[in-house]
Structure 1
Amino acid sequence: MNIKEKVSIHFTKLTKTDRKITSQLLIKPEILINQPIQAAAVTLDVSPAAIMRVVKKLEYRGLAEFKLALEEINGEEEIAETSAKKQIISEVIDSYRQTLNVVEEMLDEAQLQRIVQWLSSYPRVRILGLGSSGLAAEQFVYSLLYQDEYVESITSRTKIYYLARAVTPDTFLMIYTVSGNIEFYKDILEQAREKGAKVVLVTMNHDEVLRKLADEVVLLPSNITNFSNKNGLIQLDNRYSFYIFSEILATYFESVE
């Protein structure tokens, strides 16, 4: 997995400073490749500790391995001088194409089959999401409608609040959440655990804490790009990853029917 794919996967962990560092290094990796970390930090206008935090968040074993990853992209067309000339339309499409490849790599067939089994066997299926994640929940419902299968999407805070008081052992919940900030879902997750209901979280947050809150956690990459006229990574519509996952899951669902 190259450094750009790792940035996509761990994007939700990155602070504004992290994104500034990563963005500049993707454009000019020689900043860190050809000079000590102290000098690179001066060039990037950050501290050496900030660079090391990025190394850790991207799950490299150390600075040496991080530099090797930067060297691998040093000759690619989308960086250095060429990136400034690249058209926005091409860069956006390339970003989604790369995200699609990472989604394929991250999805686990055995996990998908388990989720589909729950979808097909539980009588009370609810797909949850708020904001843009709610649109992804509704899109999955729409995908299943093509197969004459109806499940309900819950995309308002009020309905989720009341659903938390109506969870039963025969309930299956799938929650779409980009950030993995499940504070709002705390009540419904606790009720699901207490009642023995099944819960799947679909998220872009790789925090290990989430694994303790659901029966399955589906991890997806963020959609990001690096426009040359911006000082930092730009996050594109994350629903793209959700939509691709939903279409794949719906296809699996059809195969078991």
Structure 2
Amino acid sequence: MASLLMEIQNVYSNLSDKERNIADFILANPEDASRRNIQELADQTGVSISTITRFAKKVSCRNFVEMKIRLASKSDGTAKATGLNESLLASYHEMLADVQLLNSPDSVDPVLKMMETASRIFIYGLGSSGLAAQELNYRLSRMGFICEAITDPHLMTIRSTLVQEGDLVIAISRSGQTPDLIQSLRRGKDKGADLVAITAFGNTPLTDLAKSVLWTIHPGRSDFHQTGLDISTLYLIDRITLHFLADNQREQLYLQTVKAITNRPLS
């Protein structure tokens, strides 16, 4: 059975505002939520008991009791952390375990194949997702890929007008609903480019457009405190990097860039 937290993340975009209140609390506080009865959870999230019952069914549970059992089984697998460092480490460990489950080889391998065969790779990201786009671009460029990070909406429009069949666009967006990004992606897809999405939400305009999707962790899992490059996105970038560095030719190219930077004269 899939993790309840991942199930909540997948249906999040289809939830009502009140149901999202429940989802946000559970994602940010799964252990706390598992200990509450239905009335306590309703009071905490400002919704009715009937709303919680509907929410449970939307996340593939027959009722609140089953949802609570699934939450409790999730919480039991993690030792109680004490102190700031231990809590942070436990949170990272749990998120990394879930992002691995979200991205099985069956979903990652097609993306790696598309990257390997693409004529050019363009990595789109706005705001904090632009940091991830730049990081992935640095990694791929140093392994010989012809790629570019696009973090400006106007340049996205221009680039999407000029892409062609054989190009690959990798779009990084937690919400999957940023209007400027979606507009550019539609334009690029019409021009024949393939599209890979890296996102935290399913059933969005982004996932509807994408040929393949890689999943990050819902921002509520970190209580919305991570505003930059989150750990699940970094994990995916590392996974992509390590796959291609296993190729001797790409590894040699990467090492050449390391040597060039190391030997660069100081100004």
Residue 22 of structure 1 deviates from its aligned partner by 6.2
Task: For residue 252 of structure 1, give the secondary structure of its aligned residue in structure 2.
Answer: helix
Residue 115 of structure 1 deviates from its aligned partner by 1.8
5+ residue gaps, structure 2: 251-267
Runs of 4 or more above 4 Å deviation: 1-14, 21-25, 42-45, 73-78, 223-226
Aligned residues: 242
TM-score, scaled relative to structure 1: 0.77
Residue 42 of structure 1 deviates from its aligned partner by 4.9
Q: How does 1:93-108 map to 2 (within 5 A)?
A: 93-108=89-104
Q: Which shows bigger deviation, 182-191 or 164-173?
A: 182-191
- Cα offsets for 1:181-212 (capped at 9, x unmatched): 14222333222332221111110012265443
Q: Which shows bigger deviation, 13-22 or 133-142?
A: 13-22
Q: Which shows bigger deviation, 233-242 or 132-141?
A: 233-242
> Paired residue for 1:41?
42
Residue 99 of structure 1 deviates from its aligned partner by 0.8
Change (3 A) 1:5 1:167: closer
Distance 1:59 1:67 in 2: 12
Task: For residue 198 of structure 2, give the secondary structure of its aligned residue in structure 1.
Answer: strand
Matched to 1:60, the amino acid is C
5+ residue gaps, structure 1: 227-232
Does residue 121 (structure 1) correspond to residue 111 (structure 2)? The answer is: no
Distance 1:170 1:40 in 2: 50
Which fold has the larger relative contact order, with Cα–Cα distance below 8 Å and residues 6 or more apart in sequence? 1
Task: For residue 180 of structure 2, give the secondary structure of its aligned residue in structure 1.
Answer: coil
Contact 1:174 1:202 in 2 (8 A): yes
Distance 2:224 2:27 in 1: 11
> Paired residue for 1:55?
56
Distance 1:44 1:159 in 2: 41
> Paired residue for 2:24?
19
> Paired residue for 1:160?
156
> Paired residue for 1:251?
242
Change (3 A) 1:27 1:123: same
Does residue 147 (structure 1) correspond to residue 148 (structure 2)? The answer is: no
Residue 139 of structure 1 deviates from its aligned partner by 0.9
Change (3 A) 1:94 1:58: farther
Contact 2:175 2:199 in 1 (8 A): yes
Contact 2:9 2:200 in 1 (8 A): no
Distance 1:215 1:161 in 2: 20
Matched to 2:191, the amino acid is K
Distance 1:16 1:39 in 2: 14
Distance 1:224 1:88 in 2: 18
Residue 108 of structure 1 deviates from its aligned partner by 2.5
Residue 234 of structure 1 deviates from its aligned partner by 4.5
- Cα offsets for 1:218-255 (capped at 9, x unmatched): 222225557xxxxxx45435621111101111222334
Change (3 A) 1:151 1:75: closer
TM-score, scaled relative to structure 2: 0.75
Change (3 A) 1:95 1:57: farther
Contact 2:115 2:168 in 1 (8 A): yes
